[in-house]
Amino acid sequence: MTMQERYVSELGPDDRAAFFQRDAGIESIRSDVREIVDRVREEGDVAVREFTERFDDVSVGNLEITDECGRAYDALEDDLLEAIETAVANVEEFHEAQLPEDWRESFAPGRELGRRFRPIDRVGVYVPGGNAAYPSSAIMGIVPAVVAGVEHVSVVTPPADQLNPVTLAAIHAAGADAVYSVGGAQGIAALAYGTESVTRAQKIVGPGNRWVTAAKAEVRGDVAIDFLAGPSEVLVVADDTADPELIASELIAQAEHDPNASVVAITDDEETGSKIVEALTDQTSEREREETIRAALSNDASGVLVARSMSEAILFAESYAPEHLSVIADDDEAVLERIDSAGSVFLGPATPVAAGDYASGTNHVLPTNGGARVTGGLSVETFLRSTTVQRLSESGLEDLGDTIMTLATAEGLEGHAASVRKRLDRD
């Protein structure tokens, strides 16, 4: 791995495109995914089992494994169980604080308006798995839905000859109602359209590989989704007070997710930039996933950048709109105040992104590819629908009557105007 710091002012159009035009990389597989989705929609469990055997090399009998999750929870070692329960409790506490209250107020005599919130009935959560362990993704997807009051939370997770017991236990602890051993595009299709075994969802959430993401893009419109997420991202904004060793460890932590991860540090201090590069070189060889880390650090969307000023660094951060934003600076609050677009923010040297990934309480299912410019991460609101409510008295309608009838007539909607005249006895 050969890396050196680069200057923001010297980035060319291609360099900037690599940083600012990231995508989920799904277009090349959309046609293959469409075939999978169509087959599952038409053939149900038969297609699910066929694709599971083809892609996962596992023959699945009973797709539902809800009871197996309960048994994994009961058999889990005490230290793992305690960690899961602590994470669940913290995520619950943070998301309970997000619950909105119904309200209704008088905006004028005789005009009462309000808003109420109700949970979606059926939600599907994708939990990456198979032989790997992703208990944190189970917690982040399921807990907000449960807190929101969703009536039925279904989970799909990839099959394996031996499913990871930690992931299964976390699914149980988080409160899923039904769990199915099916992953990939076929898992998303099963949730979107339902099968003989899998309950159809009204909304699908959760991270996955590009096949999962492409399937979410394919079914969007027939079912609601959270967003289309690509590989993991982190942007660290630092000044000369930051410890380069900590910054390097933050970049490496996200780089170990995926060779296509985008990991960036930007600083207004040239010496700090040089030391970050040195620390990356030293630390990478110490990590178990060294090959993946090196690939991520070497891709065009990663790098250590030196800005001419903190203002230039902040402008870069705002344009980048990262999934994870770490701010390690003398006045981190002042830096944050000037950045609006970020999925989740981590302030100060004692706040690693890993805290939010696992147990601080915030959600780690976050927008990537610049999605933070227009949306936030998974939250209680993801699983709620809102309804406006209004009540007019006769005098309240009298006050609004001329306004309503004038505008309705201007739009050529005479029936709208008539519906008011009838109530006001003006016919």
Give me the pLDDT at residue 2, please. 59
Report yes or no: 358 and 338 within 8 Å, Cβ to Cβ: no
The catalytic residues are: 323-324
Question: Which residue is listed with tokens 């990231």?
Answer: 22
Q: Exposed/middle/buried for 61, CB within 10 Å: 0-12, 13-18, 19+?
A: exposed
315, HSE (Cβ side, Cα atoms, 13 Å): 11
Q: Tens place of pLDDT for every residue, the chain, 427 residues?
A: 557 889 999 999 999 999 999 988 899 999 999 999 999 999 999 999 999 999 999 999 899 999 999 999 999 999 999 999 999 999 999 999 999 999 999 999 999 999 999 999 999 999 998 656 899 999 999 999 999 999 999 999 999 988 999 999 999 999 999 999 999 999 999 999 999 999 999 999 999 999 999 999 999 999 999 999 999 999 999 999 999 999 999 999 999 999 999 999 999 999 999 999 999 999 999 999 999 999 999 999 999 999 999 999 999 999 999 999 999 999 999 999 999 999 999 999 999 999 999 999 999 999 999 999 999 999 999 999 999 999 999 999 999 999 999 999 999 999 999 999 999 987 6
Distance separating alpha carbons of residues 320 and 228, to the nearest angstrom: 17
Distance separating alpha carbons of residues 300 and 254, to the nearest angstrom: 15
Report yes or no: 152 and 123 within 8 Å, Cβ to Cβ: yes
The token pair that represents 7 in the structure block: 């200057």
The token pair that represents 209 in the structure block: 């590989």
**Measured CA angle at 79 (ends 76, 85), to 5 deg:** 80
Name 118's bridge partners: 385
Give me the pLDDT at residue 299, please. 92
Give me the pLDDT at residue 425, please. 84
Q: What is the pTM of this model?
A: 0.95
Edge to edge, the sheet with strand 344-347 lists 6-7, 303-306, 262-267, 233-238, 324-328, 344-347
User: Hey, which bits of 128-247 come out as E strands?
Assistant: 152-157, 178-181, 203-205, 224-225, 233-238
**Residue 344: other Cβ atoms inside 10 A:** 22
User: What long-range pairs does 283-290 form, CB within 8 A, spacing at least 24?
Assistant: 283/245, 283/248, 283/249, 283/252, 284/1, 284/252, 287/252, 287/256, 289/256
175, HSE (Cβ side, Cα atoms, 13 Å): 19
Report yes or no: 160 and 129 within 8 Å, Cβ to Cβ: yes
Give me the pLDDT at residue 132, please. 66
The token pair that represents 287 in the structure block: 């990590």
The 3-class secondary structure across 316-357, one letter per residue, is HHHHHCCCEEEEECCCHHHHHHCCCCCCEEEECCCCCHHHHH
Q: Exposed/middle/buried for 367, CB within 10 Å: 0-12, 13-18, 19+?
A: buried
Name 153's bridge partners: 123
Q: Are strands 122-126 and 6-7 parallel, antiparallel or unpaired?
A: unpaired
Give me the pLDDT at residue 131, please. 58
